[in-house]
């Protein structure tokens, strides 16, 4: 539906301008906020950057669940810093989206009333401390796989935000792997918890890359505009190829009997996630979907007095400035 809308709007636009725009993209130029851009390009970016920002913010929730129960003060401090980083990533991304003419409040309202999505992965619960390892290792690992190419995306503010995000995200992935190492080489019970976390997070992590290429609505146009640099399946394959040897190193087993090195394709064969589960989750029916939106709505409502106070202060300051002039 969205793709159709974008397509019909794109065809209404001046063909000469469209061709010149595409030529800039093909030449690897960055598009900046004040440059002419097709409406479809603007809308696709607002959707993708906005959903990415929401994912960073909602992504704080499953981790904050473990802040009060981290096993040591050091682990607690590291987790707290990571969660704080995610808030920063959300802010960089909201700022990038705002350069396209949408306000942060509008984006937030679209998240809160379900008009905009956030990553499917955050609709799953974090049940044990080992999940903090699995989230860092697999979820941040998948996020990096997706975000490293986005550093070269065609829209300048998004590309620059991604450069900053990726620097921090690689620390996150390493801290997750470190937690997994500790658990996997610890007591039999700790190793069992690590395996259980891998079992639960493996397929949801594969879903993070989006539907398979044949079912992806936006990929071909987004790739032509260099909003996306790779297809969903390309990145999923790279993620499996990178992660399978890491699981071996940890002495853990990826829950997929079909996972097998394929010499010919120079990559692993693996099972697809259950796509009906994916579609259910992104329609708001994941195990924690209702809780996540309830938590974000509560935070938004509880923070209203702060926003009102800041706005009143800014308005008063502006009025005083006008009176003095
Ligand atoms: N979850 O045509 P497609 C992070 C939707 S990491 C929910 O292939 P596209 C973090 C898609 O929006 C996660 N929805 O779409 C990590 C579309 O629906 P709409 C955030 C999904 O956009 C650690 C429909 O399915 N990363 O934040 O070309 C700690 C058809 O899909 C998902 C990003 O957002 C999903 N997994 O490709 C804290 C990266 N997959 O919008 C935080 C930037 C698909 O038409 N985004 N959908 O209603 C992207 O690279 C792309 O948007 C995607 C999807 C690859 C995710």
On the CB side of 2, how many CA atoms lie within 13 Å of its CA? Answer: 17
Say what the pTM is: 0.93
Where does the chain have alpha helices with state H? 2-12, 15-26, 39-58, 60-64, 73-98, 104-112, 130-134, 140-150, 156-184, 188-207, 219-224, 232-250, 275-280, 289-302, 304-324
Given a contact cutoff of 8 angstroms between Cβ atoms, the answer to whether 217 and 3 are in contact is yes
For 127-150, the pLDDT digits (tens) are: 999 999 999 999 999 999 999 999
Q: Which residue has its alpha carbon closest to ligand 1 atom 37?
A: 210
**CA 119 – ligand 1 centroid, Å:** 6
Percent over 90 (pLDDT), the chain? 90
Can you name the residues that pair with 261 across neighbouring β-strands? 268
Long-range contacts of 299-305, Cβ-Cβ distance < 8 Å, separation of 24 or more? 300/108, 300/112
**Mutate-to-test residue for ligand 1 from 3, 63, 119, 166, highest number of ligand atoms within 8 A of CB:** 119
Average per-residue pLDDT for the chain: 95
The whole-number pLDDT of residue 203 equals 98
Name every protein residue with a CB atom under 6 angstroms from any ligand 1 atom. Answer: 2, 47-48, 51-52, 55-56, 59, 86, 117, 119-120, 139-140, 143, 146, 207-211, 216-219, 222, 228, 232, 282
**SS3 label, residue 212:** coil
Residues 209-222 have pLDDT tens digits of 999 999 999 999 99
For residue 6, name the pLDDT band (cuts at 50, 70, 90): very low
pLDDT at 5 over 50: no
Q: Ligand 1 centre from 47 Cα, in Å?
A: 9
* 170 band by pLDDT with thresholds 50, 70 and 90: confident
Tell me the average pLDDT across 256-263. 98
Whether residue 156 is predicted with pLDDT greater than 70 in this model: the reply is yes
Residue 23 confidence (pLDDT) above 80: yes
**Where does the pLDDT of residue 8 fall: very low under 50, low under 70, confident under 90, or very high at 90 and above?**
very low
Least confident of 6-15, 38-47, 170-179, 281-290: 6-15
Distance from residue 56's CA to the centre of ligand 1 (Å): 12
User: Cβ-count burial of 310 within 10 angstroms (0-12 exposed, 13-18 middle, 19+ buried)?
Assistant: exposed
Distance CA 200, CA 125 (A): 10
Report the candidate in 89, 39, 113, 79 with the shortest Cα–Cα distance to residue 284: 113
Split at pLDDT 50, 70, 90, the class of 11 is low
Those residues whose C-beta lies under 8 Å from the C-beta of residue 129, and which sit 6 or more positions away, are: 66, 69, 70, 71, 179, 183, 193
pLDDT at 4 over 70: no
Q: Tell the residue nearest (CA) to atom 51 of ligand 1.
A: 48
CA–CA dist 34, 37 (Å, integer): 9
pLDDT of residue 185: 96
Say if residues 154 and 176 touch (Cβ distance below 8 Å): no
Phi, psi of 268 (to 5 degrees): -85, 145
Nearest CA to ligand 1 atom 42: 56
Q: Comparing C-alpha atoms, which of 147, 139, 137, 142 is closest to residue 237?
A: 142
pLDDT band for position 2 (50/70/90)? very low
- Look up residue 155 and give its DSSP letter: B
Q: Model confidence at 12, in pLDDT bands (50, 70, 90)?
A: confident
Q: Can you list the alpha helix ranges (DSSP code H) found in 113-209?
A: 130-134, 140-150, 156-184, 188-207
Residue whose structure tokens are 């937690």 = 179
- Residue from 210, 219, 223, 225 to probe ligand 1 pocket by mutation (most atoms less than 8 Å from CB): 210
């Amino acid at each position: 539906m969205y793709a159709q809308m974008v397509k019909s709007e794109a065809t209404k636009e001046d063909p000469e301008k469209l061709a010149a725009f595409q030529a800039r993209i093909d030449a690897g130029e960055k598009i900046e906020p004040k440059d002419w851009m097709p409406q479809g390009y603007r809308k696709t970016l607002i959707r993708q950057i906005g959903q990415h920002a929401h994912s960073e913010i909602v992504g704080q929730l499953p981790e904050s669940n473990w802040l009060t129960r981290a096993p040591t003060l050091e682990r607690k401090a590291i987790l707290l810093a990571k969660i704080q980083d995610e808030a920063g990533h959300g802010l960089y991304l909201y700022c990038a989206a705002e350069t396209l003419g949408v306000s942060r409040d509008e984006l937030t309202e679209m998240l809160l009333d379900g008009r905009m999505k956030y990553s499917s992965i955050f609709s799953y619960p974090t049940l044990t401390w080992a999940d903090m390892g699995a989230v860092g290792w697999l979820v941040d690992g998948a996020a990096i796989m997706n975000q490293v190419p986005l550093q070269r995306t065609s829209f300048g503010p998004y590309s620059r935000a991604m450069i900053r995000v990726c620097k921090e995200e690689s620390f996150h992935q390493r801290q997750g792997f470190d937690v997994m190492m500790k658990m996997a080489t610890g007591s039999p019970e700790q190793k069992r918890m690590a395996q259980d976390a891998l079992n639960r997070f493996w397929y949801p992590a594969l879903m993070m890359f989006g539907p398979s290429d044949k079912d992806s609505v936006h990929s071909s146009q987004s790739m032509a505009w260099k909003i996306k640099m790779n297809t969903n399946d390309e990145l999923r394959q790279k993620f499996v190829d990178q992660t399978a040897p890491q699981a071996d190193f940890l002495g853990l087993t990826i829950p997929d009997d079909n996972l097998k090195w394929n010499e010919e394709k120079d990559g692993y064969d693996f099972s697809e996630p259950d796509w009906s589960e994916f579609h259910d989750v992104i329609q708001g029916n994941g195990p924690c979907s209702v809780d996540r939106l309830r938590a974000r709505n509560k935070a938004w409502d509880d923070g209203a007095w702060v926003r009102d106070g800041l706005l009143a202060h800014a308005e008063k300051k502006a009025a005083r400035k006008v009176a003095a002039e």
